[in-house]
């Protein structure tokens, strides 16, 4: 997979040389190219920003350096690129919220281009223009504001690259983790290792009992409970057709009942969740 990243802070992307993502690059599974936006300016100060039309706080990134930088990247496609070109990912607090599903979709692409905004973002015509030429996704890491797109690129790249064949040694770990479709999108069960007892806390007996069926059932119960109590938004989207009678009993105990498209909860259970999650 080829990743092109356009930024004014190339050093921010240095962590991509480390750990599994660094190894994936060394092995040729991933080709990361970082481009300096300022290379596409033509004034003495290498200006990339200007005040917004209409007034307001802060500075915006001017469109011309972006146009030049992105056109240069598009003119140099990797072998085996999609005829539609790359997906242009623009990290932004106004984008779709990034998810495991989005990571899976992006991991299926041979070529991604990231545009890292700084200041108050990039002139809106850049997304509008490239949206007529290639596929563009504005992506948010969550409902908070970062100083720029670089940290989002690190997070998105890590989530995507670990899904590529060969990047993670044990592929089974990908299907057993939180948010995995194979796991019905549920949060992962709690996990324990040696010693069996630590500071007066014992590992649940069922995990050391050698009964694999009982272990699977315990883990499923825990995943359902955790998701229902910590992430009611995720539980509400669980497909009732994926649930057995025991699942339904566990959820019923927590106030959740299957509906036409997902699960509903008694209002009291949501109030409990809000009590424990709001400041």
* Residues binding ligand ADE (CB under 6 A): 91-93, 140-142, 144-146, 149, 152
Radius of gyration of the chain (CA): 23
Q: Give whichever of 56 and 190 is closer to ligand ADE, judged by the CB atom.
A: 56
Based on DSSP, count helices (H) and strands (E) in the chain, helices before strands. Answer: 10, 11
Q: Give whichever of 148 and 247 is closer to ligand ADE, judged by the CB atom.
A: 148
Least separation in angstroms between residue 22's CB and ligand ADE is 23
Check if the beta carbon of residue 267 is closer than 8 Å to that of residue 257: no
Q: Give whichever of 142 and 204 is closer to ligand ADE, judged by the CB atom.
A: 142
Least separation in angstroms between residue 179's CB and ligand ADE is 18
Check if the beta carbon of residue 264 is closer than 8 Å to that of residue 257: yes
Q: Give whichever of 86 and 149 is closer to ligand ADE, judged by the CB atom.
A: 149
Least separation in angstroms between residue 114's CB and ligand ADE is 10
Least separation in angstroms between residue 121's CB and ligand ADE is 8
CA dihedral 80, 166, 28, 38 (to 10 degrees): 80
State CA 23 to chain mean position distance: 20
Least separation in angstroms between residue 142's CB and ligand ADE is 6
Q: Give whichever of 152 and 228 is closer to ligand ADE, judged by the CB atom.
A: 152
Which residue's Cβ has the minimum distance to ligand ADE?
91
CA distances to 69, 113, 114 from 7, rounded to whole Å, are: 10, 11, 9
30: tokens are 């991933």
């Amino acid at each position: 997979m080829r990743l092109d990243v356009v930024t004014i802070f190339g050093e921010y992307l240095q962590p991509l040389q480390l750990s599994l993502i660094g190894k994936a690059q060394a092995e040729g599974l991933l080709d990361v190219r970082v481009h300096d936006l300022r290379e596409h300016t033509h004034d003495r100060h290498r200006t990339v920003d200007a005040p917004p039309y209409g007034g307001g706080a802060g500075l915006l990134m001017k469109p011309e350096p972006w146009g030049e930088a992105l056109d240069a990247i598009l003119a140099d496609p990797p072998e085996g690129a999609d005829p539609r070109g790359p997906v242009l990912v623009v990290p932004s607090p106004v984008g779709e919220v990034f998810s495991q599903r989005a990571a899976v979709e992006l991991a299926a692409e041979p070529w991604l281009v990231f545009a890292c905004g700084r200041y108050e973002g990039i002139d809106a015509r850049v997304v509008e223009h490239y949206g007529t030429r290639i596929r563009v996704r504005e992506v948010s890491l969550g409902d908070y504001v970062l100083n720029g797109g670089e940290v989002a690129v690190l997070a998105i790249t890590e989530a995507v690259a670990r899904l590529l064949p060969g990047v993670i040694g044990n592929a089974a770990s990908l299907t057993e983790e939180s948010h995995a479709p194979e796991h019905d999108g549920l949060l992962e069960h709690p996990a324990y290792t040696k010693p069996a007892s630590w500071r007066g806390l014992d590992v649940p007996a069922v995990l050391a009992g050698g009964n694999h069926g009982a272990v699977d059932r315990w883990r499923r119960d825990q995943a359902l409970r955790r998701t229902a109590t910590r992430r009611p938004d995720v539980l509400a989207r669980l497909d009732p057709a994926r649930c057995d009678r025991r699942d339904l009993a566990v959820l019923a105990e927590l106030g959740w009942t299957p509906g036409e498209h997902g699960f509903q909860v008694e209002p009291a259970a949501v109030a409990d969740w809000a009590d424990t999650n709001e400041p």
